[in-house]
Each structure stands twice: as structure tokens, then as C-alpha cells.
Structure 1
Amino acid sequence: MRRRARPGGGRQIDVSVTELGARGDGVAKSVDGLVFVPLSAPGDRLRLRLAGEKRGGALRGEILEVLEESPLRIEPPCPHFGPCGGCQLQHLEAKAYSDWKQHLVSTHLMRHGLDAARVEPLVQVAPGSRRRAVFAARRQGQRVSLGFHEARSHSIVDLEACLLVTGTLFRLLAPLRAVLLGWLPDGAAAQAVVAETETGVDLLIETETAPGLETREALAAFAATQNLARLSWCRKGDVPEPLAQLRLPRLTFGCAQVVPPPGGFLQPSREGETALVELVRGAIPASALRLADLYAGIGTFAFSLADPARVLAYEGDPEALAALETAARQPALRGRVAGERRDLDRQPLRAEELDVFDAVVFDPPRAGAGAQVPHIAQSIVPTVVAISCNPASFARDARILIDGGYCLQRVVPLDQFPWSSHLELVAVFRR
């Protein structure tokens, strides 16, 4: 079957795709060098339009025609696939997709001279399980587009279907469009951060257009009709203002009930969170009674590890730390979790501070723990567990730990973002 895309300007070339790059684009060789081709598969023969340079000086190509289709191609299940930036790999056969994700971790480890044999089979979370998402919105005339951005564009794909998020979150989109139509002036943009908690949906709307009295009444009615737990508003970067709260949004970690801040980070799926927690708990020896949780967030790991151990949780974000500390005061925890505000990029824990712990858990942002890891490597902590959402920064940090005397025991990759290049992992290091 031959598929054609809209032709346009730019030089045309024919190439064969040989592999997938780290971001899910196909990679082909040409007389001009490497060409990265979105929405392609290994084995494709393609006619491309060269569309400018990509990272590192490589070229980017747009598919004009599939001359010969790879046997790894399948029909994408979502009608929005292609333009929508929410997924990049729905066109790839399931085993080829999982093999590629598994290979991502091994590739980055080998680039740093590390043992890829420590990488275990990929753990996959099913589509339709995302309980947290960030949707973009824009009003244009009498229509509000609400969904994900197009790939490499500020344009919005107005979602009529989505195979990523839970049904609860997707069913919220249509009534939310109606509310935003009555709120936003023509041309105005907004962002909706939605999270499905155990007590209902927590919704934060970010927009420069402040809600007036009539809009606030409409939002309160919307929250009641949709049975939201909480609805908040803010301008980007400001402290959110709750506009309606039927009940507190709650999440359970261990024996703690946590109320997350509006728009706060949480693991994208319950299934993925459970898998991560079980892997971390399984790595901590029963004899470890003093634990440090670095980049602790709202306490996903700290509360799950606080039996029988005592956990000191370090977090730089004040709203996340406040949620953690409030939950830590619950009687069921008996004081086993304490929080401390610490920007670990600017003020990492020194080796002598870490030496008092039996185990350290760290879950940094995508950039990794570049400032903190050298101090862990100099410490005498017997067990270190790393959680990462970026195999590249993880491999760099792992190299530092190993050079400091740690042994990498296992790496378990976990796919919480189906059909994308995002990948998480848990790794265990011991002295």
C-alpha cells in the first residue's frame, strides 16, 4: 500500500530507514549524511522532502511517499495519529516497539561503558491508563480546540478520541470545551492540567484571562455537574486559586493519604506507580531502617518505604513538600517520615550527610542528578536505588556511581507512556 503526504518545497530524496533513533524517528543514510524521519519504521523505503536540520546537524525529512512498506508497520489505531504529538509510534508493530524501548536503555549504558546485560525485560503499562495529562486549549471564533499540540508545532489537535488517557479524563473534554468557550476571549489560550485522584478529578486551568463573577459561577456549576474533587485557576507561574472544591483530592501512598497541590506532579498511571514502588521496595534490605528519599515530590516512595524504616524526604518544591509534610503528620505514620526543603541541584547532600543512611533512593527530573550523584558516589551508603525518566542522564549518573565503587545489580525499564519515546527505569546499586 502506498501512502502519500502533502507535497511541498524542499529537495526530494529516496532513502531506506535502517533503525529508530532515541526519540522514535526513523534513521536513514543519504549522501548528505543522516536523515531523521518522523513516523517511519525500519525497513521502509521512502521518498522524502528534506525539511531542514535537526539536532547535531543531521537532516530532518518529511515523508512524501512510502515506496516500500516495512513489515514492521501496522495500521495506527487512533484517528489522530500523525498530526497529534501525543504519540509517535502507533504505526510500529508491538514487538518491534517493545524491543526498541528495551534497546534504548542498553544503548545508553554501553555508550558509557556499562554492562547492558544488567537490563531486564521491559515492563509495559497498557494504553488508556494515563490518570494525569496536560491539555492545550485555544478559542478561535465560536470553537475551542482542546487536546495535545501537533508535533513540532503550537497548533492544537482537537481530540475526538484518545487511547492514552483514562475514560474519566477523556469524557471531561467535551464539557470543558463548553466552559472555556464562555470564558476565553477569541484567540486566547489556556492549559488544563487534569489528574484523576481516588476522590475525583483535580483540574487546574492556567490562562492569562482572569475569571469574572459570571465565569466563576459557571465554573462552580461545571465542577458540581462533573463531580470534580477540586477546580483551580492560575496565571502561568502564579500560585493556583481554588475556585470550587467538593472534597479534597487524595492519593494513597503506603498508609498515608496525600492531598497533592493543584497541577502537581504524580506518576502518570496507578499501574506504573505500583510497579515502580514494588521495584524500589524490593531493592531495600529488611535491615535498612534509615532511608533518604531525594527529589521526594509528594512522597510516592517515602511513604511506601516507611514501614518499618524511618525516611527523611528531601524536596525543593515548596508546594510538594507542604503536601508531604501535612501527610507525614497523620497518626498512622507514627513520625516515620519527615520532610526537609533542599534544592539538590544547588545544595546537594554531602557524603558525610548521606553516610548515616542505610539506603538512598533518588528520583530526579529528566536532567538527572548531576550535582548530587558525585556525593552519593563518595559516600558509604550500602544500597542506592535510582528511578529515572531519561536513560541518557541515568547512564551518565550510573557511570559516576560505578566509578565511585558501586556495583550495578539490575536495571528494570518501565513504559508508562505507550507509543512515545519516554521511558522510565529503576536501577539498584550496592557497595
Structure 2
Amino acid sequence: MTLTITRITAAGDGMAEDAGPFPRTLPGEEVDVVDGTARLLTPSPTRVKPPCRHFKSCGGCAMQHADDGFVADWKTSVIATGLAARGIETDIRPILTSPPQSRRRAALHGKRTKSGAMVGFHGRASDVLIETPDCQLLDPAIIAALPVLEQLTVIAASRKAELELVVALSENGIDLDMRNCKPLDPRVIGEVSALAEQHRFARIAWDGEVIGLRAPPIQTFGQARVAPPPGAFLQATLHGQNMLMQAVAEAVGGAKHVADLFAGCGTFSLPAAETAEVWALEGEASLIAALDQGWRQATGLKKVTADTRDLFRRPVLPSELSKTDAVIIDPPRAGAEAQTIELAKSEVPRIAAVSCNPVTFARDADILIKGGYRLDWVQPVDQFRWSSHVELAAQFTRAHMA
């Protein structure tokens, strides 16, 4: 049966009229479908040769078969569609895309084999592990460390279970959190520490417990230097982090008293403290501790008050924001509906919102707009190149204060 692809889903799959999804297809392409599998007949002008030889087998990327212009337009349209579903129109700026080979944080998987171990990503919609030594996403320093990750997998993995290897580049080398490890045998601690020293890893953690530390795994946020806890969230690329930081700084404007909600380790709090007093709130105590220590060790920053608080169960109330000039909010993918409801009741003049989910962002934006805020602009940021994910920063202002 011959079909024509008419659109792309939010997951990056092609859809024909009442048929699909068909991975790695593009709008306008004709395909021959047999038993649910599409064979390309007529390629789109936007189709390109995938830059990575692992593309067909690896599930890490969805859109390497499309040119950069198509991917940029598609990701921007995902944001626009989410807002339009809520009746929201605004200025959506040109997307800012991180370059290839710039991913500094990734969750890889490792498992033991008869001859040793293998490390890579899962295949598309599969638990099959695919080795990706020529990955075009990962920073070359992570690619160079793959043989060491295989050695560590042999040490830490049971014979049947897979490891999750959360890898992040720090100023002092790779920061590794190995998860789903077998019970820790104290006899392997020296072996792991020796590997960390030999290969210049900054830190190695075994299910959150640090067993190898050569140097603090420092990340820089503005003028502050922070050592996050093992496996802590970090923006996927340095380029993406910088673009989001710039957008947040613009949205905050000249505020002198800022509240940063879901502050993490201080990605936005600490740069904001260069010009404003900051109240940073985060649900995980270890992240707040790292943020606080980074602030205390920095010079030239204004006061940062760092508090542990579950903002889902105990959102910040309007009365607590009476002296706040701007709020930064960067919730997880589920968004922050309860907190946004309280923000919508506040009189805070400016809100800088960061989101990794256009759908929940649109929901929360709708709450703010109905509460009297105006969505001035949205800045898309694509640090998950070739995937279906897109992030954004946005500026809201109180309509009567704009």
C-alpha cells in the first residue's frame, strides 16, 4: 500500500492519513507500507544523509534524516502548537541549537558480556543495548572514556542487570554516577579509585556513594563554582546552559530581589546573585547544600538564601513574594501547576520561566495569563539535537506593570 506522509508527531514520527506512526519519514514523502513497515519511495527535499552511522539502530536520535532547517521549524512548531491549543499567541524567537558533539551529560547503559562488557544507548523502543563509539551527540571526552566505562561495568554490574551510567563532564574530568550496581564489595574501592586516578576521572559514585574522588567535579554558574552531588541534574550542553542563562537574565531584567523556584544546584540562582539578592528553593537537600556552598565560596555575589522546600506540596505563596521583583521558575517535565496557581495570584512584576515540556509550559502559561500576566516572548533552545525534545525560556510580565 502506497501512502503519503502528511505530518510529524511530537515524537518525531511520520504520519499518513489514518496510518502510522512511521519512524524516519518526513512530510510529503511517499512510502510503501508492508506489515506496518514503511519503505521510502519518494524522498523529501529536506531529507539528508544521517551524520551518524548508528542512527538506524540507536534510539538516542529521532531526526538525523532531516536537515537542520526542517528540525528547527518542527521543534518551534511544537511549542507554537502547544500554546495555540490554549489560545495563546506570542513572539517565538528563532531557535538556538547546540552544535554536534557537545553533549556533556548523558545517561548511558552498560552490561556484562562473556568477553567483558558493552556500553551504549538502547535501541529505539527497545531494551537492546547498542554500542555507539562514533556517536555524533556526545562530547569527544565522553567517547574517549567508553573503554573505561566498560571496565567499570565489569566491576560494578551483576551478571544479569544493566547499569545506568550517568556521565557528566566537569572542569576536573568526568563525573560518573553508576546506578543499579551489585552490592558494594569494599575490596573493589581501591580498584575503582585507581581507575579514577589513571584516567583522570573527577569522581566515581556507586549508587550515590562516592568511592573514587580525584578532584571536585566543578561546574561553573556565572562567577560561582559548584560541586553537585552524584548524578545531579545538569543542562545537557554548555551552549544550552549559556543560552538559557542569557534568556533568564533578560527576563529578570534589573530586579533586585529574585526568587528562584526549583533552583537545583544554582544554574540560574548564582548568576542572578551577581546583581540581585536571591531566595533559592529546591526540594532536594543535597542540591541546595551544593548551591549554598558554591555561593559561600564565591566572591562578589549578593546574598543568597538557600532553602529546601517541596514546592509541589508546599508552593511559595503570594504573601511570601511581596518584596520580590522577579521569579525564576524551572520545574521538571510535569510542570508546576500548584506553584503556578500561587504565582498567578501574586503581584511579582516579572517571571522568567524555563521548561523542557512545551505541553506543561502551555498549561502553566495559561494559568499565569488568566491571572493577569502577559507572555512577552518565548526563546526555544535545542540542546537535545536530533531528538524530539526541545527546551525554552520565556518572559512574563504583569500586564498592568509592563
The two structures share one fold, judged by TM-score above 0.5:
yes
Q: Of the candidates 175, 179, 191, which is equivalent to residue 148 of structure 2? A: 175
Q: Which residue of 1 aligns with 2:243?
A: 275
Letter in 1 for 2:277: R
Structure 1 residue 399 and structure 2 residue 366: aligned? yes
Between the two structures, name the one with larger relative contact order (CA 8 Å, sep ≥ 6): 2
Per the alignment, residue 53 of structure 1 pairs with none
Structure 2 length-normalised TM: 0.95
Unaligned runs of 5+ in 1: 1-12, 51-60, 235-239
Contact 2:322 2:348 (8 Å CA) reproduced: yes
Residue in 1 that maps onto 2:124? 151
Query: Matched residues in 2 for 1:134 and 1:207: separation?
Result: 13
Q: CA deviation at 1:333?
A: 5.0
Shift of 1:255: 2.1
The reply to whether residue 354 of structure 1 matches residue 321 of structure 2 is yes
Are 1:361 and 1:385, in contact at CA under 8 Å, matched by a contact in 2?
yes
The 5-angstrom pairing of residues 60-75 of structure 1 reads 61-63=36-38, 65-75=39-49
Aligned twin of 2:229: 261
1:28 paired residue among 12, 16, 28: 16
Mapped to 1, the partners of 2:8 and 2:66 lie a distance apart of 11
Match of 1:38 in 2: 23
TM-score normalized by structure 1?
0.89
The correspondence of residues 160-309 of structure 1 with structure 2, limited to 5 A, is 160-234=133-207, 240-286=208-254, 288-309=255-276
SS at match of 2:24: coil
| Alpha-carbon shift at residue 425 of structure 1 (Å) | 0.5
Provide the residue aligned with 1:113 in structure 2: 87
Report the secondary structure of 1:248's partner residue: coil
**Structure 1 Cα separation of the partners of residues 194 and 231 of structure 2:** 21
Structure 2 residue matching 1:371: 3-state secondary structure: helix
Contact residue 261 and residue 320 of structure 1 kept, 8 A: yes
Counterpart Cα distance in 2 of 1:291 and 1:163:
38
The equivalent of 1:237 in structure 2 is none
CA deviation profile, 1:234-257 (whole Å, cap 9, x unmatched): 1xxxxx111111111111212221
- Once the two structures are superposed, what CA deviation does each residue of 1:286-341 show, in whole Å capped at 9, x if it has no partner? 2x211100000000000000122100001001211111122232262566111111
Alignment-mate amino acid for residue 231 of structure 1: I
Selected match of 1:136 from 87, 101, 109:
109
Measured in 1, the distance between the counterparts of 2:22 and 2:317 equals 44
Secondary structure of 2:20's partner? strand
Aligned partners of 1:301, 1:201: CA distance in 2, in Å?
23
- Other-structure match for 1:10: none
Deviation per residue, 1:145-204 (Å, 9 max, x gap): 211111111111112211111111111011221332354343331111111011211111
Relative to 1, partners in 2 of residues 1:113 and 1:160: Cα closer, same or farther, differing over 3 Å? same
**Conserved 8 A contact 2:375-2:395:** yes
Q: 1:290-369, aligned counterparts within 5 Å? A: 290-330=257-297, 332=299, 336-369=303-336
What is the root-mean-square deviation of aligned Cα atoms in Å? 1.5
2:133 and 2:143 in contact (8 A); partners too: no
- Report the secondary structure of 2:338's partner residue: coil
Letter of the 1:271 partner, please give it. H
2:175 is aligned with what amino acid?
Answer: D
Q: Distance in 1 between matches of 2:3 and 2:368?
A: 41
Unpaired runs of 5+ in structure 2? Answer: none
Residue-pair matches, total: 398
Deviates more, 1:332-341 or 1:221-230: 332-341
